[in-house]
Structure 1
């Protein structure tokens, strides 16, 4: 994450996969999504590239930090220490950091229901969800949509008058997060007014766009991936959910 400062404070500014084996992970996503990879300044990390532009980070750190293999979104903050304090004030957890990383500072946290996310203070890539090489969509799947929206709004300063950050709107039983120009993430967990769903395992979910969903699924299965939700049509387009050989969940989207 070492490009010129871009993006909106409070908006997702990067996604990173915490994996166990860098080589196996690169082979899988290179085959499924056509990514190439370049080395990072940080040992054990690489940058996925598509069309010459950065897509995501991959780090073989799951064992080091004793965390599950997962795709994790990072959100831009102006002060990582202040944002970490706001997380703790809301009875959530800061598991790692803030620590120096590359040309900034990062922390890994989980919200009150256990969904893992990161915060990033520093230089931001020219990268925005739904645009260019970045992921197509981010979605928090949680038990209580309204409570989650209040938590992230407080931590990331969403919908704060005069600060130039992200706005939130309610749309089709989702909380939709907008940066200055377009929608970048959603929070879903049933109707906003409904009781929390105890069966939902809260997590942030990443969608990547592919021109050929069936070919990408075939490539994933040939490299040890598993389809957990078969192709179907949603409001986003035609999509499927997969698990990579290391256990990381993600969705593919076309249309």
Structure 2
């Protein structure tokens, strides 16, 4: 489809006409250390990004899957994985964020072949928006979005769905827009027939535990969960929690710099038993 700013020209093409999750990016403090960790844990390789020496694009095989930028210190923000959503007009989306009591922290500003911004929703969960303003100069990557999926932990899933729906035109009836549906106490975000995210209630804004505060959590499917957890531990990461799911299991990890992410042997968004 995590964060600082997208990897610009290497970003996968967004799902047609929709404000869908299009990219995940990691804001970190040390690019080289982050590359070594994620190469060992997730098997990624890296190529330089288009935004300077502090940015790189992670690839799984020939497919770009994520961006990493050593910008946490410069922007004075926490080390974190952040999702970006494709929008047709970054300025209009930024205005809608502010109108709905969200915050635009950085941008919109020029980012390679597009314009983007880093924002937070009304409960403080951080996300990004990105508008492509120039045509891609290379063929799009294969449309394989199984490399990451998302869950928003928020105070109230239905309030959050209204916020993001208003900002991103979800369920607007426009051609290609993402649709939302409800399952128990969760909101499911589906784009072009694929579940790409879930929104769950129960987060507490002032909680000291980062797992309890409102946040977008990035899930990376892996073939062998136990081996991935062990690799993370061997390379300086730590296990925050591990839990069974109805169809498999997942583990939430911290990288050596404090970036929180989840690995799972479930290939797509699952019901609320994933936490």
* TM superposition score normalised by structure 1: 0.91
Q: CA deviation at 1:211?
A: 1.1
Please state whether the residue corresponding to 2:35 is helix, strand or coil.
Answer: helix
1:211 is aligned to 223
Contact 1:46 1:58 survives alignment (8 Å): yes
* TM superposition score normalised by structure 2: 0.85
1:193 is aligned to none
Q: CA deviation at 1:163?
A: 4.0
Q: CA deviation at 1:6?
A: 4.0
Please state whether the residue corresponding to 2:227 is helix, strand or coil.
Answer: helix
2:171 is aligned to 159
Contact 1:143 1:189 survives alignment (8 Å): yes
Equivalent pairs counted in the alignment come to: 246
1:75 aligns with 2:88: no
Q: CA deviation at 1:61?
A: 0.6
> Could you say if the C-alpha distance between residues 246 and 203 of structure 1 is closer, same or farther in structure 2, counting changes exceeding 3 Å?
same
2:5 is aligned to none
Paired with 1:166 and 1:90, the residues of 2 have a C-alpha distance of: 19
- The aligned runs of 1:2-21 (5 Å cut-off) are 2=9, 5-8=13-16, 9-21=18-30
> Could you say if the C-alpha distance between residues 133 and 39 of structure 1 is closer, same or farther in structure 2, counting changes exceeding 3 Å?
farther
RMSD value, Cα: 1.8
- The aligned runs of 1:83-98 (5 Å cut-off) are 83-98=93-108
Q: CA deviation at 1:233?
A: 1.6
- The aligned runs of 1:138-149 (5 Å cut-off) are 138-149=150-161
1:38 is aligned to 47
Unaligned runs of 5+ in 2: 1-7, 267-275
- Structure 1 residue aligned with 2:240, among 225, 228, 250? 228
Measured against aligned partners, the alpha-carbon deviations of 1:109-139 in whole angstroms (never above 9, x if no partner) come to 00011000000000686476xx45631x200
Contact 2:14 2:86 survives alignment (8 Å): no
Measured against aligned partners, the alpha-carbon deviations of 1:201-253 in whole angstroms (never above 9, x if no partner) come to 000000001111111111111111010002x2224631110000110110111
Moved over 3 A (4+): 3-6, 123-128, 196-200
Unaligned runs of 5+ in 1: 191-195
- The aligned runs of 1:78-227 (5 Å cut-off) are 78-122=88-132, 126=141, 131-132=144-145, 134-135=147-148, 137-190=149-202, 197=204, 199=207, 200-227=212-239
